[in-house]
Amino acid sequence: MATEYLIEALSIRKYFPITSGLLNRKVGEVRAVDDVSLSVPRGQTYALVGESGSGKTTLGKTLCRIYTPTGGDIKFKGHNIANLPEEQLKPVRRSIQMVFQDPTSSLNPRRRIKEILADPLVIHGVADGKRRMNRVRELMDLVELPQEFLYRYPSGLSGGQRQRVGIARALALEPEFIVLDEPTAALDVSVQAKLVALLKRLQRELGLTYLFITHDLSLVRNIADVVVVMYLGKMVEQAEGPELYQNPLHPYTRALLSSIPVVDDAERELVPAKVPLRGEIPSPANAPPGCPFHPRCDARLELCSRVVPSTRRVKDNHLVACHLFQDDLGG
């Protein structure tokens, strides 16, 4: 039986122009996302991981069509939405939503929670009057917030509670696909765990499909079906969660995994030997030639500085873009 993909990114590129002078002449470009492909099956969670500046958020916003891609296709339920004009995107936006990293800036501080949750219903003409308020109350129950919070402003809630409001707002129009951009950033560990448990329950009950963006590989161990590792706008490795943690191939992935804090001996067995990650991620406006990771890689070969590695399938659903594995086609 063929896999049903809810959303597919096919060779997606998103470049931002660099301009200069009074006439804003283009003098360069930032290749924030550079030829990335992934296909997310319905009901699954794909995690995008990598350091800040790797292009994760830009890819998420492009899949949501907050950004128009520079090139490539975005197929949602088999239909290409990459270049749809704004008037044709409105029905698509009901099915694709995004939860932003910082609820403090994404929630209007001058509006009460009930107004924030009602806004998507008003904009899309969904329900009115009493039915609209009933839906707003349902959303509060879904994210396990008390009804009295409806009359508070965002400043009257904790960071974790504000993020639950952001999730409730994303659920207002009954979407099928949700991009979660660092939803647990700046929350303490106990609040993170409760939020992840909530997201897993909502996925089960509502049949949601997630793209979970994070820099924290330890966070997605228990939520992601597939982990996609990005570096400087490119996908460098993709594998099912258990496979990636047990058999990381790309030197960058091994470095990220080895940096996970180890709490006990059981976890120590799951973390690779310490791999140094030297230096900082380069600017996407001035990416190095060849493999983008080669300046920081201790395993680099001579051709790494000249040739961009192609993505190879080394085993079922385990892809890697690294010259160390270019001869292993894996069937």
pLDDT tens digits, one per residue of 179-203: 999 998 878 889 999 999 999 999 9
The span from the CA of 49 to the CA of 250, in Å, is 13
**Residue 226 near residue 241 (C-beta atoms within 8 A):** yes
Specify the 3-state DSSP secondary structure of 315.
strand
44 Cβ contact list (under 8 Å, min separation 6): 209, 210, 225, 226
pLDDT value for 155: 94
Residues sharing a CB contact under 8 Å with residue 240, sequence separation 6 or more, in sequence order: 225, 226, 227, 317, 318
Give the CA-trace dihedral at 320, 325, 245, 210, to 10 degrees.
10
Q: Which two tokens mark 51?
A: 């350091």
Helical H segments across 96-217, by residue range:
103-106, 113-123, 129-142, 159-171, 189-206
Please give the Cα distance from 175 to 123 (Å, whole number): 15
Sites in the chain below the pLDDT cut of 70: 1-2, 261-274, 327-331
> What spatial distance separates the first Cα and last Cα of the chain, rounded to whole Å?
20
Q: How many Å is the Cα radius of gyration of the chain?
A: 21
In DSSP terms, which residues pair with 76 in a beta bridge? 7, 79
CA atoms within 13 A on the CB side of 316: 1
Interatomic CA distance for residues 275 and 98, integer angstroms: 34
- Beta strand residue intervals within the chain, DSSP E: 5-20, 25-41, 45-49, 71-76, 79-80, 96-99, 177-181, 209-214, 226-231, 234-240, 312-315, 318-320
Contact 4, 41 (CB under 8 A): yes
What DSSP element (H or E) covers 167?
A: helix 159-171
Q: In 17-26, which positions are buried (b, 16+ CB within 10 angstroms) versus exposed (e)? A: eeeeeeeeee
- For the chain, domains (ranges, CATH) are 5-281 (3.40.50.300)
pLDDT of residue 4: 86
Q: Across the strands, what pairs with 222?
A: none
Asked if residues 195 and 187 have their Cβ atoms less than 8 Å apart, the reply is: yes
The residue among 104, 67, 311 whose CA lies nearest residue 187 is: 104
Q: Nearest 5 degrees, angle CA 231-CA 235-CA 240?
A: 115
pLDDT at 2: 65
Backbone angles phi, psi at 279, to 5 degrees: 70, -170
> How many angstroms separate the CA atoms of 80 and 87, rounded?
15
Token output for 143: 């994210």
Residue 297 and residue 311: Cα distance in Å, rounded? 18
